[in-house]
Amino acid sequence: MSTSSPNNNGRHEPNLQCEESAGLDRATLNYIERAAATGLYEIRGLGSKRRLPHFDDLLFLGASLSRYPLEGYREKCITKTVLGSRFASKPIELEIPITIAGMSFGSLSANVKEALGLAATSMGTSTTTGDGGMTQEERRSSKTLIYQCLPSRYGFNPDDLRRADAIEVVIGQGAKPGGGGMLLGQKVSPRVAKMRTLPEGIDQRSACRHPDWTGPDDLAIKIKELRELTDWEKPIYVKIGATRAFHDVKLAVHAGADVIVVDGMQGGTAATQLAFIEHVGIPTLAALRQAVDALEDMNKKDEVQLIVSGGIRTGADVAKALAMGADAVAIGQGILVALGCNAATYVRDGKHFSAVDDYTALRTAPGFCHHCHTGRCPTGVTTQDPELEQRLEPQVGANRVRNYLKTLNMELTMMARACGKQNVHHLEREDLVALTVEAAAMAKIPLAGTSWIPGEPGRM
Amino acid sequence: MGGLTTPVLFDLSKQTLRELNKALHGPLVPGTVYRVENPDGAHSIAVGINAPVEVHIEGHAGYYAAGMNMLATVVIYGNAGPGVAENMMSGRVDVTGFASGGAGASAHGGLLVIGGDAGLRCGISLKGGDIVVGGSVGSFSAFMAQAGNLVVCGDAGEGLGDSLYEAVVYVRGTIQSLGADAQVEPMAESDLATVSSLLGAAGISHPASDFKRVASARNLYHWNADANQEY
Ligand code: SF4
């Protein structure tokens, strides 16, 4: 397509008069035209869309003669996952190592928050609040709810802190390490505004640093305060947007975290500047490896648990993350898609209705949408609009998310059994090989068919 | 108080902070007075109280004294470290001396009174609480403050009220500089009443008419006025 134009027969033939530039390709031309027309950077939802080294670039070495597999349907494979056993007297115990990532009420509707709670509870896993506080709906529906402490502190209060099962201090998120939260006016509904103590309808841009501490030494004191506030019962997670993951993880462990959450650059967002999404941070694969290196370097791998997020979509992704050293994963965008994000239809009273016109109104189409920031979600997932919100019935959403989590968990245990593991946490790096040199270098996993890890001396 | 004449004593040179906070989180008899001796700059003293009791801290406190307070009255006879009364919901916190950075950060309610000066970012991210500072406040105070009042009897440092929302700052002395989107506005009757009542509650006497009102120009509420226009 790069040097083609339709000829008389309508066929695309190479044509040097219509050569597309690699540097100034159509997307870039459109970007410059848009910038020139509006004088404002592009803001959008979801995560990075560019091709990045990812879990797809790793493969499992199933067992054969040198190791033997477990029977897929008969032999037990444990998925139980304990998080936060380092200092907290009440660690989080989950049935599966797949959790639901922090997404705010505000970016999501109250219906969606309720659906996530119902699904997570039925699967024995946790869900997480977001930038905007805890809703009654999600607390009621979630057996295990992680309460985020964010720079904005919107809706942050001691009652909800005491009601939470764990606390997640958010330093950054993968979609925008170094940037603060954002919620455009269309989504700052009366209820959202009230919870956040903001005027209705304003374009909310939150702080990127916490108001009452700066730096790792302060963080250690802040974590102690949170422990005192909650009588040392609740696990404290620290969430990092992946950049200098090796050093940041070490500092977070040093500051006293029970659990580290590392969010790679594929991590989603409800609204962030495009330049941030695509140009800041490192891929999840690289971040996970650095985080595991940091924990091993400190000899804390068994003491501090690691959750990885940012572009986890499939059971294979989960299995690979665990094999690389994560204790659990957190999923955001995959959950949204399970709920109906980018689907052509929505379900109401058991019937499917087309949402295509609503995608068209956003100048997009099912499969290509990233318009969460507008609040006009065609399938009712990321909206505060009372009409659109009705397009996602909590029970329908809950069933879909439960099915999705169930599928991932089945795939995860299938992979683990194929590698001869009775416990998914026994998956190990030795079970993996890399398909590309980039992935081999970032994940420090040998290139398939070789023992070569780029950059490792003596391993040619 | 409340008929209880003898305060409950906690000596932090002999007892642990954990014992103190645990006791303060237990079922409490309203009106009970706790006296904390030898605080010696410990962090997180009397955090997370949720009852109408009184805590007297006899000396300097470290970070986050009276953090997330609800209902209680906490008095620090000395100086307070960063984040005193951070995220307070209700009740009252008094610091007789100076307070460090982030005093009253993100407080949703209650009253924080600082007798001396407060450091950087006093009242940052304020969400409905009231703060009265007898002395001056450091730079970037009331940064992104959303609701509530900050009354400064002395001077204010640089960048006062940067990116303010609906919170209002009152300053008696000089303002080194205003932050983005903050502006000095005339004092209305309601401002005079607010300042008088907060000063009265704090036990500080200055005429309310000495104060200037600083509030948001609201130019940052929407992203970019030009954003919807095509040139
Ligand atoms: S379909 Fe909804 S949730 Fe998905 S990208 Fe579009 S607006 Fe966002």
What is the pLDDT at residue A189?
87
Q: How close A158 comes to chain B (CA, Å)?
A: 6
Q: How close A219 comes to chain B (CA, Å)?
A: 11
Which numbered atom of ligand 1 lies nearest the CA of A342? Answer: 1
Residues A84/A92, Cβ–Cβ less than 8 Å: yes
* Residue B228 pLDDT level (bands cut at 50, 70, 90): very low
CB-based contacts of B60, cutoff 8 Å, min separation 6: B39, B40, B41, B76, B78, B79, B80, B81, B97
- Is residue A336 in contact with ligand 1, taking CB distance under 6 Å? yes
Enumerate the residues of chain B whose CB falls inside 8 A of the CB of residue A221.
Answer: 43-44, 62-64
Distance separating alpha carbons of residues A380 and A371, to the nearest angstrom = 12
Of B48, B125, B166, the CB nearest to A158: B48
Residues B41/B79, Cβ–Cβ less than 8 Å: no
- Is residue A339 in contact with ligand 1, taking CB distance under 6 Å? no
**B88-103: pLDDT as tens digits:** 999 999 999 999 999 9
* Residue A3 pLDDT level (bands cut at 50, 70, 90): low
Give the angle B61-B64-B65 at the CA atoms, nearest 5°: 45
Any A CB within 8 A of B159 CB = no
Enumerate the residues of chain B whose CB falls inside 8 A of the CB of residue A199.
Answer: 165-166, 221
What is the pLDDT at residue A205?
82
| B18/A197 CB distance under 8 A | no
Residues B177/B160, Cβ–Cβ less than 8 Å: yes
**B188-224: pLDDT as tens digits:** 999 999 999 999 999 999 999 999 999 999 988 886 6
Please give the backbone phi and psi of residue B80, each rounded to the nearest 5 degrees, phi first. -120, 140
Distance separating alpha carbons of residues A158 and A155, to the nearest angstrom = 10
Q: How close B152 comes to chain A (CA, Å)?
A: 19
What is the pLDDT at residue B225?
46
What's the mean pLDDT when you consider all of chain A?
93
Q: Which of A65, A98, A69, A59 is nearest to A431 (CA)?
A: A59
Mean pLDDT of A276-304: 97
The lowest-confidence range among A92-106, A170-184, A249-263, A334-348 is A170-184
**B71: exposed, middle or buried (Cβ count in 10 Å: 0-12, 13-18, 19+):** middle
Q: Residue B61: helix, strand or coil by DSSP? A: strand
What is the pLDDT at residue A16?
85
**Tokens of residue B153, six digits:** 């009897």
Q: How close B67 comes to chain A (CA, Å)?
A: 8
What is the pLDDT at residue A4?
54
In a domain, B2, yes or no: no
Portion of chain A with pLDDT greater than 90, in percent: 79
Residues counted in chain A: 460
In a domain, B188, yes or no: yes
Q: Which of B107, B95, B180 is nearest to B134 (CA)?
A: B95
What is the pLDDT at residue A72?
76
| B18/A184 CB distance under 8 A | no
**A377-434: pLDDT as tens digits:** 999 999 989 999 999 999 999 999 999 999 999 999 999 999 999 999 999 999 999 9
Distance separating alpha carbons of residues A143 and A127, to the nearest angstrom = 9
Which numbered atom of ligand 1 lies nearest the CA of A337? Answer: 4
Q: What is the interface pTM, i.e. ipTM, of the complex?
A: 0.95
Chain B residue at shortest CA distance from A202: B221
Q: Which of A79, A157, A94 is nearest to A319 (CA)?
A: A79
CB-based contacts of A390, cutoff 8 Å, min separation 6: A348, A380
User: A390-413: b or e for each residue (b if 16 or more CB lie within 10 Å)?
Assistant: ebbbbebbbbbbbebbbebbebbb
| A212/B86 CB distance under 8 A | yes
Please give the backbone phi and psi of residue B137, each rounded to the nearest 5 degrees, phi first. -120, 150
What is the pLDDT at residue A39?
87
Residues A367/A342, Cβ–Cβ less than 8 Å: yes
- Ligand 1 centroid–CA A130 distance in Å is 18
Chain B residue at shortest CA distance from A152: B125
Of A37, A157, A202, the CB nearest to B230: A37
| B82/A213 CB distance under 8 A | yes
What is the pLDDT at residue A8?
61
Strands (E), A141-235: 144-149, 166-170, 182-183, 204-205
Distance separating alpha carbons of residues B199 and A74, to the nearest angstrom = 74
- Is residue A377 in contact with ligand 1, taking CB distance under 6 Å? yes
Of A39, A156, A211, the CB nearest to B124: A211
Enumerate the residues of chain A whose CB falls inside 8 A of the CB of residue B226.
Answer: 38-40
Number of structural domains chain B divides into: 1
Could you tell me the residue range of the domain that residue B172 belongs to? 8-227
Q: Which residue, by CA, sits nearest to atom 5 of ligand 1?
A: A370
Cα–Cα distances (Å) from A234 to A453, B15, B51, B210, in that order, read: 40, 23, 22, 48
Please give the backbone phi and psi of residue A239, each rounded to the nearest 5 degrees, phi first. -105, 130
Any A CB within 8 A of B48 CB = yes
Chain A residue at shortest CA distance from B222: A203
In a domain, B75, yes or no: yes
- Is residue A381 in contact with ligand 1, taking CB distance under 6 Å? yes
| B230/A230 CB distance under 8 A | no
Portion of chain A with pLDDT greater than 70, in percent: 97
* Residue A66 pLDDT level (bands cut at 50, 70, 90): confident
Residues A169/A149, Cβ–Cβ less than 8 Å: yes
Distance separating alpha carbons of residues A440 and A430, to the nearest angstrom = 13
- Model confidence at A149: pLDDT above 70: yes
CA atoms lying within 13 Å on the CB side of residue B123: 42
- CATH number of the domain bearing residue B178: 2.160.20.60
Enumerate the residues of chain B whose CB falls inside 8 A of the CB of residue A218.
Answer: 63, 82
Any A CB within 8 A of B27 CB = no
- Is residue A388 in contact with ligand 1, taking CB distance under 6 Å? no
- Is residue A378 in contact with ligand 1, taking CB distance under 6 Å? yes
- Ligand 1 centroid–CA A376 distance in Å is 8
Q: Is the model more confident about A456 or about B174?
A: B174
* Residue A9 pLDDT level (bands cut at 50, 70, 90): low
Cα four-point dihedral sign A251, A255, A260, A263: negative
Residues counted in chain B: 231
Of B47, B128, B147, the CB nearest to A228: B47
Which of A113, A186, A337, A377 to mutate to test ligand 1, by most ligand atoms within 8 A of the CB atom?
A: A377
Enumerate the residues of chain B whose CB falls inside 8 A of the CB of residue A229.
Answer: 44, 47-48, 67-68
Instruction: Please name each of the domains of chain A with its CATH number.
Output: 4-40 (no CATH), 55-427 (3.20.20.70)
In a domain, B67, yes or no: yes
DSSP A303: T
Strands (E), B16-155: 33-37, 54-58, 73-76, 92-95, 111-114, 127-133, 147-152
Rounded to 10°, the helix A315-324/A394-418 angle is 50
| A202/B221 CB distance under 8 A | yes
What is the pLDDT at residue A5?
55
